[in-house]
C-alpha cells in the first residue's frame, strides 16, 4: 500500500505540473498540445545536467541546477509554438503536433551524438544519472519521498494564487476570454500569450524531468514519455482548467498509472490474472471514458486557439 501511495504521488506530480502548464497556456489563448514534446526536451536538459554534474556537488546545488536546466530547455522549446502561433498565426494544433514529433526525435539524435562522441561504439539513446538522482530523494522509513512531490504541491498552490488573486493572472485569463476587450484597456495580448506559453514550457519541461526520474536511474529517450503529455491534457480538461480540480484529477489518474507498477503486491489483483499490459492501459482508458462524459459540459477559454488580430473588434 505504501508503494502504491508513493507511485501515485510521483505520477500525480508529473500530471499536475504538465497540466498546469497547459492551463496557463490555454488561459492566455494558445492551445498547447505540444506538451509531450516539451516534456521530452525538458527531461533531456535535466538528464544531461545530472549526467555531467560532479558527484561531489551538494544536493541543493544539484536540485537547483537540474531543475533550472529542465525549465530553461522546456521554455526555449515552447518558444517554437509561441513564435509560430502568436507571431505568424499558424494553426496551433498543427504546431503542437509538430513539437510532439520533433521533441523525441531531436532528443534521440542529441543523446546518440553525445554518446558516440564519448565512445564511438555507443549508439544508444540512454542517459544515466544514478548518483545525481539521489539528491531528489529522502527516505522516511519505507517511504521514498521525492522533493518533486513538494514542488508540485507548492506550484499548484502558487498557480491558484497567480491565476485568481494577482493582476497578472486576471490579465492572462482576460486574453484567453476576450483579447479585444483586454487590448482596449491597455493589456498587451501578445506579451501575455507569450507569458502563458513560456510558463507552459517551464512546467512541461519540469514535468518531463519528474517523469524520467520516477523509479529509474537512467532513461532511454527512444521511449519518449509514454503519452503523459496527452494524459496531462485529459487531466486539464477533466479539471476544467482550474488548478484545484486539476490537482484532484491528477491524483485519480496517477493512482491508475501507479497500479501498473505495484499491482503484483495486491493478492486480489494478482488473482484476476490480468495481463500487465492492461494495467499500463488503465490511465488512458480512464481518460477516454472521462472525456466522453466531461467534454460536453467542459468550458474552455473562449478565445483559445484563435489568432489575435488587433484590427478585429
Helix (H, G, I), strand (E, B) or coil at 126: strand
Reported as a single tens digit per residue, the pLDDT across 73-101 is 999 999 999 999 999 999 999 999 999 99
pLDDT of 1 reads 77
Hey, what's the torsion of the CAs at 129, 150, 170, 167, to 10 degrees? -100
pLDDT of 311 reads 67
Bigger pLDDT: 312 vs 44: 44
Contacts of 209 (CB under 8 A, 6+ apart): 42, 43, 45, 46, 47, 66, 67, 70, 148
Reported as a single tens digit per residue, the pLDDT across 169-198 is 999 999 999 999 999 999 999 999 999 999
Q: Band of the pLDDT at 141, cuts 50, 70, 90? A: confident
Structural contact between residues 249 and 20, judged by C-beta atoms closer than 8 angstroms: no
Residue 312 has pLDDT above 70, yes or no: no
Read off the DSSP letter of residue 140. Answer: E
Helix (H, G, I), strand (E, B) or coil at 223: helix
- DSSP character string of 252-291: HHHHHHHHHHHGGG-HHHHHTT--HHHHHHHHHHHHHHHH
Domain positions in the chain:
2-297
Residue 151 has pLDDT above 80, yes or no: yes
Residue 112 has pLDDT above 90, yes or no: yes
pLDDT of 313 reads 59
Radius of gyration of the chain from its Cα atoms, rounded to whole angstroms: 20
Q: Which H or E run contains 127?
A: strand 126-128
**Any idea which fold 2-297 has?**
ABC transporter involved in vitamin B12 uptake, BtuC (1.10.3470)
The count of other CB atoms within 10 Å of the CB of residue 245 is 16
Alpha-carbon distance 10 to 138, whole Å? Answer: 13
Helix (H, G, I), strand (E, B) or coil at 210: helix
pLDDT of 280 reads 82
What pTM value is reported for the model? 0.95
Amino acid at each position: 500500500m505504501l508503494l502504491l501511495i508513493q507511485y501515485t504521488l510521483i505520477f500525480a506530480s508529473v500530471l499536475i505540473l504538465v497540466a498546469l502548464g497547459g492551463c496557463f497556456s490555454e488561459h492566455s489563448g494558445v492551445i498547447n498540445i505540444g506538451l509531450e514534446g516539451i516534456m521530452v526536451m525538458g527531461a533531456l536538459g535535466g538528464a544531461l545536467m545530472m549526467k555531467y554534474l560532479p558527484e561531489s556537488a551538494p544536493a541543493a546545488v544539484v536540485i537547483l541546477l537540474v531543475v533550472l536546466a529542465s525549465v530553461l530547455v522546456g521554455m526555449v522549446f515552447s518558444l517554437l509554438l509561441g513564435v509560430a502561433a502568436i507571431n505568424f498565426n499558424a494553426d496551433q494544433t498543427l504546431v503542437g503536433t509538430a513539437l510532439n514529433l520533433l521533441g523525441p526525435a531531436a532528443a534521440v539524435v542529441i543523446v546518440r551524438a553525445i554518446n558516440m562522441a564519448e565512445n564511438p561504439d555507443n549508439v544508444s539513446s540512454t542517459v544515466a544519472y544514478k548518483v545525481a538522482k539521489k539528491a531528489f530523494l529522502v527516505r522516511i522509513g519505507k517511504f521514498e519521498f521525492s522533493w518533486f512531490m513538494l514542488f508540485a504541491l507548492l506550484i499548484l498552490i502558487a498557480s491558484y494564487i497567480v491565476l485568481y488573486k494577482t493582476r497578472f493572472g486576471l490579465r492572462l485569463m482576460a486574453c484567453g476570454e476576450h483579447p479585444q476587450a483586454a487590448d482596449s484597456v491597455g493589456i498587451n495580448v501578445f506579451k501575455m500569450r507569450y507569458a502563458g506559453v513560456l510558463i507552459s514550457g517551464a512546467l512541461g519541461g519540469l514535468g518531463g524531468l519528474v517523469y524520467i526520474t520516477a523509479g529509474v536511474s537512467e532513461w532511454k529517450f527512444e521511449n519518449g514519455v509514454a503519452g503523459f503529455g496527452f494524459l496531462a491534457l485529459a487531466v486539464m480538461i477533466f479539471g476544467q482548467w482550474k488548478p484545484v480540480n486539476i490537482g484532484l484529477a491528477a491524483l485519480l489518474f496517477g493512482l491508475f498509472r501507479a497500479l501498473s507498477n505495484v499491482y503484483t503486491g495486491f493478492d486480489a489483483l494478482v488473482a484476476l490474472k490480468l495481463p500487465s499490459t492492461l494495467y499500463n492501459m488503465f490511465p488512458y482508458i480512464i481518460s477516454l471514458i472521462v472525456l466522453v462524459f466531461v467534454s460536453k459540459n467542459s468550458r474552455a477559454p473562449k478565445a483559445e486557439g484563435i489568432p489575435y488580430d488587433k484590427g478585429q473588434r
